């Protein structure tokens, strides 16, 4: 009888150990998945920027008009909410087939007269983020030059595709003649250069509620 009880206990103990191991594996997988799911701010869904990016690619670029200088303006209306969406795009200046930074651009998104977000899209693979932000979102350290001044910023790193700019830097962009962004790629640091001068500030004021900030 004692031997039979010992055998049952050993069998139950082995099953319990397997169940615990399976549970730990599931928990680890959940934690890793959460770490790979970036969030840029608590009041915005984690993939808000990616959804907006896909929407922009679906929208025709034929309605684009010059916003002054090298800026282009695109307008659309949300089919469900009738919200007025406007975006301003500024392509990079440096033409380098080797670096492909010439494909980079800055996009400013606005809805119903308010700024939604401003993105720096290098269109090349970004390096890994440096650290998590206050809410756990991945961030990359970048250096920005606006005319004669420069500053360092921590921008939200969104799925390795682009960086979300802060509002203060966006305002400096609007008021600058020369604007450069140094960022990291797997091959090392790269610099994207922009010429924001010539933008019709009245358009941005009406569409985004933004005023330029002198660097």
Which tokens hold the place of 59? 């929208």
Beta bridge partners of 87: 74, 109
Q: What is the pTM of this model?
A: 0.71
Residue 146 CB partners (closer than 8 Å, separation 6+): 169, 172, 173, 175, 176, 178, 179, 215
Q: Where are the alpha helices (DSSP H) in the chain?
A: 2-35, 48-58, 167-175, 201-208
81-110 pLDDT, tens per residue?
999 999 999 999 875 555 444 479 999 999
The distance from CA 171 to its chain's CA centroid, rounded to whole angstroms, is 17
How confident is the model at residue 2, as a pLDDT? Answer: 44
Other CB atoms closer than 10 Å to residue 1's CB: what's the count? 5
Mean pLDDT of 11-38: 47
Per-residue pLDDT, 22: 55
Q: For 136-176, how does the pLDDT look when each residue is reduced to its tens digit (9 = 90+)? A: 899 999 999 999 999 999 999 999 899 999 999 999 999 99
Spatial distance between the Cα atoms of 129 and 164, rounded to a whole number of angstroms: 13
If residue 185 lies in a helix (H) or strand (E), which one and from where to where? strand 179-185
User: Percent of the chain at pLDDT above 90?
Assistant: 60
How many whole angstroms separate alpha carbon 28 and alpha carbon 32? 6
Check residue 179 and give its pLDDT.
Answer: 97
pLDDT at 212 over 50: yes
Q: What is the mean pLDDT of the chain?
A: 79
Measured from the Cβ of residue 147, the count of other Cβ atoms closer than 10 Å reads: 15
Answer with the residue of higher pLDDT: 103 or 40.
Answer: 103
Higher pLDDT among residues 22 and 105, named by residue: 105
Distance CA 192, CA 124 (A): 11
Nearest to 75 by CA among 118, 120, 113: 113
Q: What angle do CA 50, 178, 205 make, to 5 degrees?
A: 60
Task: Cite the beta strand spans of 81-171 per DSSP E.
Answer: 84-91, 105-111, 114-121, 131-132, 138-146, 149-158, 162-165
- The span from the CA of 116 to the CA of 33, in Å, is 27
């Amino acid at each position: 009888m004692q031997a039979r009880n010992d055998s049952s206990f050993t069998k139950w103990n082995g099953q319990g150990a397997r169940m615990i191991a399976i549970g730990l594996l599931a928990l680890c997988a959940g934690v890793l998945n959460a770490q790979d799911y970036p969030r840029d701010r608590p009041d915005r869904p984690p993939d808000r920027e990616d959804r907006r990016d896909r929407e922009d690619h679906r929208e025709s670029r034929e309605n684009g008009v010059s916003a002054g200088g090298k800026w282009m303006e695109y307008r659309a209306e949300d089919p469900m909410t009738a919200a007025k969406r406007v975006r301003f795009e500024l392509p990079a200046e440096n033409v380098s087939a080797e670096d492909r930074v010439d494909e980079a651009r800055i996009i400013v998104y606005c809805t119903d007269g308010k700024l939604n977000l401003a993105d720096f899209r290098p269109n090349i693979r970004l390096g890994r983020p440096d650290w998590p932000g206050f809410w756990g979102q991945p961030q990359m350290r970048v250096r920005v030059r606006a005319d004669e001044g420069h500053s360092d910023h921590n921008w939200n790193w969104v799925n390795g595709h682009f960086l979300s700019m802060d509002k203060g830097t966006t305002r400096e962009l609007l008021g600058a003649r020369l604007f450069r962004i140094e960022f990291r790629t797997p091959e090392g640091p790269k610099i994207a250069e922009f010429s924001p001068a010539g933008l019709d500030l009245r358009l941005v004021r009406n569409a985004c509620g933004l005023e330029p900030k002198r660097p």
